[in-house]
Structure 1
Amino acid sequence: MTTTFITGANKGLGHETARRLLALGHTVIVGARDEERGAAAAAELGARFVRIDVTDDASVAAAAADVAVHEGVLDVLINNAGVHGPYGDPAELTGADALAVFDVNVFGAVRTTSAFLPLLRRSADPVVVNVSSGMGSLAITHDPSRIESSVVAPLYTASKAALTMLTTQYAKALKDVRVNAADPGYTATDLNGHSGPQTVTEGTDAIVRLATEGPGAGFGRFVDREGPLDMA
């Protein structure tokens, strides 16, 4: 049985990833900051809920301790929790704005991966999937044929670029853990006011594939539902 922990799993991409992995036979732990919403989502899915606020060291440590007691091992960690932050004119951004976005999208992945690493190392095939974005790719955001090139979201894009680089660095350093990044694509979620043309099922294709591809698959990759993406 594969045990999977998903942060930000009470809605959107995290919730759909949980649903799909449960259907594939995973034991899924729904991680969410809001206890009421997280518990409700877990009950709906038939999963277990563990509260986790990825911006809080104590909360992340407590979540890892909970999994250690109840499951004893973790096979897949999906760092899905994310925030968008302010759009538009960079002149209006503040350092506090930047810290808030990076605290969830980047530092949150660092906290969670570090806390769960001992449990992942108990697995025969440990996997970390970081939910990044093509919005963090220089190549994609400079390609006029891509919708990503028309969006101005300085902090979100910068944080996702950082998360993708973090993925490649962790993949190099953690030889015993398969670490990869997924780009869901422009998917209809709360993050974009449900404006994306993809369904949440389509948006989770890359995440689910990375979580289920099995031993011997590559590491340090950045993929979307069609395949590998340019890291630049």
Structure 2
Amino acid sequence: MLQDKQVAIVTGGNRGIGYELVKQLAWDGFKVILTSRDPETGHEAVQKLNKLNLDVSFVVMDVDNQESIRQAAITVNEHYGRLDVLINNAGVYLDESKKLVAMNPSILEKTMTTNFFGAYHMIRSFIPLMEKQGYGRIINVSSEYGAISEMSLQGAGAYKLSKLALNGLTQLVAAETKGDIKINAVDPGWVSSDMGGPSAPRTPKQAAESILRLATIGSEGPNGGFFRDGKQIDW
């Protein structure tokens, strides 16, 4: 079924920055698909947004599970026949205050599975829908911790490596895409959420606004960039 409304999908959309992204995209007139691994919190979030007359639907999806992503892509294709915006927002921060080589390897593996491979498999599964119409905007929610300069500083090793890899993926996919398909990475800053904690200075609403600028850039807009607050920053 084809439709005129632009379609956006946000991973980890049931809370924090993800929830704000879904809400603001829907306010802007998008048909938004909220994904979450937890059906209960996902449905609750969508019901809340539907009460505001926002065009939001729910697809259960675990970014750690390739088959789950594949099934979601099939569902989106069958229901909407298009995808205009993909925001890879789902992420984890599992680091304890241990050196990378001293931590349990499962922490690094789990972090890479969600923060890097999750985004990779999302892009791989959904980019054909963008290529079909020759248009798409992909945004990877990254972190300044993923900058090369951060690698010479101790701490948060698993998280840093996952975001470094995500930044590299952003550049590689940008180099490979054809047509009006753009992919960029964004550092949302330190945000008061389940991950950032209550003392963080920035609200999810502020973070979402800085990310959404890249969802609606024109064909002359950036591709393969790394941004904070609308300004390009160093890799």
- TM value normalised by structure 1: 0.91
Distance 1:8 1:42 in 2: 12
Q: How far apart are residue 88 of structure 1 and its match?
A: 1.2
Match of 2:155 in 1: 152
Structure 1 contact 132–181 (Cα < 8 Å) conserved = yes
**Matching of residue 74 in structure 1 with residue 77 in structure 2:** no
Distance 1:186 1:227 in 2: 16
**Matching of residue 119 in structure 1 with residue 123 in structure 2:** no
AA matched with 1:201: K
Structure 2 contact 213–230 (Cα < 8 Å) conserved = no
Distance of aligned partners of 1:45 and 1:214 in 2 relative to their CA distance in 1, 3 Å threshold: farther
Question: Structure 1, residues 98-136: CA drift from partner, whole Å, max 9, x if none?
Answer: 110000000001111111111122334211110101111
**Matching of residue 40 in structure 1 with residue 44 in structure 2:** yes
Structure 2 contact 8–83 (Cα < 8 Å) conserved = yes
Match of 2:203 in 1: 199
Q: Secondary structure at the match of 1:122?
A: helix
Question: Structure 1, residues 129-159: CA drift from partner, whole Å, max 9, x if none?
Answer: 10101111134677xxxxxx7x831111111
Question: Structure 1, residues 39-98: CA drift from partner, whole Å, max 9, x if none?
Answer: 111121121000111111110011001101111100011111100012311154122111
AA matched with 1:65: I
Question: Structure 2 stretches of 5 or more lacking a match?
Answer: 51-55
**Matching of residue 17 in structure 1 with residue 21 in structure 2:** yes
Distance 1:226 1:174 in 2: 22
Distance 1:156 1:107 in 2: 13
Match of 1:104 in 2: 114
**Matching of residue 184 in structure 1 with residue 194 in structure 2:** no
Instruction: Report percent identity of matched pairs.
Output: 34
Structure 2 contact 8–85 (Cα < 8 Å) conserved = yes
Structure 1 contact 7–30 (Cα < 8 Å) conserved = yes
- Alpha-carbon RMSD across the aligned residues, in angstroms, is 1.6
Structure 1 contact 134–141 (Cα < 8 Å) conserved = no
Distance 1:72 1:194 in 2: 40
Match of 1:215 in 2: 219
Q: Secondary structure at the match of 1:73?
A: coil
**Matching of residue 4 in structure 1 with residue 8 in structure 2:** yes
Q: Secondary structure at the match of 1:5?
A: strand
Match of 2:62 in 1: 53
Q: Which of 24-33 and 193-202 deviates more?
A: 193-202
Structure 1 contact 189–195 (Cα < 8 Å) conserved = no
Structure 1 contact 32–52 (Cα < 8 Å) conserved = yes
Structure 1 contact 87–154 (Cα < 8 Å) conserved = no
Distance 1:80 1:159 in 2: 13
